[in-house]
Structure 1
C-alpha cells in the first residue's frame, strides 16, 4: 500500500512493483508499474535524460512521459526477498586502468581471420545504417559544415549503444550453451570455458539494462533488435558448430569496434559536445554493478567502465581464438605453475588488446 499526502484528505492507492515518483497536478504520487487512467495530467517528476530537443523522423528510442511511468526490468521484491544477488561479481577497475584503454587492431593472419574481419565490417555497415551513426573520417575536418554533418546527439548515441548491446550478449551465450551441451554429450570436462563465456554474456546484458534506464527503445528499434537477434543467434549457432575459432575471432574484431565507439563517445563528452550528459549521473544499477565510488558516477565515468569491459572482451576472445578449441584449458580460469610471470586475468590490471598467444599461456 502506497500513500499520497495532499493538503487536505490523504489519498491511498494500491499498486505493485517498484515505486516511482510522478506528479499529479500539484500532488506527488508514489506509483508502481501501472498506468492510472483515472488520474489526469500525470507527468514524470524526474527523467534521466531529456530527448525532446533531438526529435528525429524515425523514433528509435523513446523517453516520453507516458512511457517513462512504466518500469522496465524492475527489481522483483516479495514478502521475504529483497532482491536477487548475482553470482558474478564484477572486478574493480581503477581510473588509471580505464584511462589506459586504447583502440587497437589485430591483423588478420589466416583465411579464418580474414573471413571473420569481413563479416564484422559488413555488420558494422548495417549497424551504422540502422542507428544513423556518423563520424568524421580520420584527419582534421576544417570545414564547419562538414563538422556539423557528422555531429551525433545524445539520442543518436543512445540509439547506437542500445542496438549494439542488445546483440552483444548473444555470442557468449551461444558459445557457452554449445560447449555446455558438448560437455554433456561427450562426458568430458570443458576446462573453464563455459563460465567465462556466460559471464561475458551477462556483462553485456548489464550494459543493456544500464542504458535502458536512460532511454527506452522505441517500436522501430525493438523490431530491428528482434530481427537482428533472430538472424544473429542462428548464424552464430551454425557458425560455432563449424568453426569455434572463427567465431571467437569474429567477436574479438567486433569488440574492437565497440572500443572504438565508446572511445568516440568519451571524446565527445570531454569536448563538451554532449551537454545533456555532462552533469548526468549514472543509474543506480550501474553504480552497484561496477562499484562506482563517490564522485565518479557521471556519464563520462559510466562510458569509461563500459569501454573497459569491451576492451576485456576484445582480449578474451582474441585469446580464445588462438587456442586449441577442444583440448586447451581456459587461461582466464586457470591456475598457472609459475605465478610470477604476467598471466591473463579477469580484471583490468593487465590487458593485451590483440590477445595472448597460445605459447604464452599453454
Structure 2
C-alpha cells in the first residue's frame, strides 16, 4: 500500500520537495484532527484531475489526436476526490475558519497547478503521485487511531455506503479503507502518466 516512487530526475526531486513542503502547514494546523484535515485536503486533491482533464481535452482538440483515455481518467479522479470531500463534510463538520482556508488554498492550487501544467504536465502528475503517497500515509495513521479507539468508529454516512457499495452498517473504519484504496489507485495512475510523458520526451 505505501509504495514510494523513488525520484530519478530533477523534476521528480522538485515535485517531492513541493509535496513535503505542503505537508508541513497541514501537520501544524490540523495536528491529529484527521477528519477536518481530510475535508480541507480533499478540496485541494480534487483540483488537479479537473485541471489536467480540461487541458488534456483542449490539447486533444488542438492537435486532433486521441487522448488515449487520459481525459476521462482525470475527470473521474476529480469526481472521486470530490466524493471523498462530500463524505468527510458529513463526518467532520468544517468550521468557518476551515471554510475560509479552503477558499484561499483552492484558489491558489487551481491557478498554480494550471500554470505549471502548461509548462510541465509530467511534473504536475509526479506532484499528484507524491500527494497521493502522503494521503495514504495520513489515512493509514487515521485508521490506526480508529483501531486503537482514539478516534470513535462512527457509522459511515449513507452517501458513502451508496457510492462505495459498502455493506449496510459499514463504519468509519470501512470507509477509510475504501478511500485509502482510491488514493493508491490515483497514486499509481499519476506516476504512470508522469513516466509515460518522460518516455515520450526522451524519444523526441
TM range (shorter): over 0.9
How far apart are 1:129 and its partner, in Å?
A: 2.5
Equivalent residues in 2 for 1:1-362, closer than 5 Å: 102-131=1-30, 133=31, 152=32, 156-274=33-151, 277-278=152-153, 280-295=154-169, 297-324=170-197
SS at match of 2:197: coil
Q: More relative contact order in 1 or in 2 (CA 8 Å, sep 6+)? A: 2
Mapped to 2, the partners of 1:308 and 1:216 lie a distance apart of 23
> Aligned equivalents of 2:22 and 2:102: distance in 1?
13
- Kept in 1, the 8 Å contact 2:161–2:168? The answer is no
Cα shift readout 1:8-53 (whole Å, capped 9, x = no counterpart):
xxxxxxxxxxxxxxxxxxxxxxxxxxxxxxxxxxxxxxxxxxxxxx
The count of aligned residue pairs is 201
1:324 alignment partner, SS class: helix
Supply the distance in 1 between the matched residues of 2:197 and 2:181 (Cα, whole angstroms): 27
**Contact map agreement 1:244 1:325 (CA 8 A) in 2:** no
Structure 2 portions without partners, runs of 5+: none
TM-score w.r.t. structure 1 length?
0.54
CA–CA distance in structure 2, aligned partners of residues 325 and 209 of structure 1 = 35
Question: What is aligned with 1:342?
Answer: none
Q: What is the RMSD computed on CA atoms of the aligned residues?
A: 1.6
Per the TM alignment, residue 327 of structure 1 is displaced from its structure 2 partner at its CA by 6.4
Tell me, yes or no, if the aligned pair for 1:113 and 1:246 is still in contact at 8 Å.
yes
**1:184: Cα distance to partner?**
1.6
Return structure 1 stretches of 4+ with deviation > 4 angstroms. Answer: 325-328
- CA shift, 1:289, in A, is 0.4
181-190 vs 258-267, which moves further: 181-190
- Return the alpha-carbon distance in structure 2 between the equivalents of residues 327 and 290 of structure 1: 35
Is the CA contact 1:169–1:201 (under 8 Å) kept in the aligned structure 2?
yes
Q: Which structure shows the bigger proportion of residues in strand conformation?
A: 1
Distance 1:233 1:326, change over 3 A: farther
Greater Cα radius of gyration, structure 1 or 2 = 1
Moved more, 308-317 or 184-193: 184-193
What do residues 287-322 of structure 1 show as CA deviations (whole Å, max 9, x unaligned)?
Answer: 000001235x11100110011101111111111110
Q: Secondary structure at the match of 1:292?
A: coil
How does the TM-score come out when normalised to structure 2? Answer: 0.93
Post-superposition CA distance 1:93-118 (Å, at most 9, x none): xxxxxxxxx22321111001000001
| Structure 1 spans left out of the alignment, 5+ residues | 1-101, 134-151, 329-362
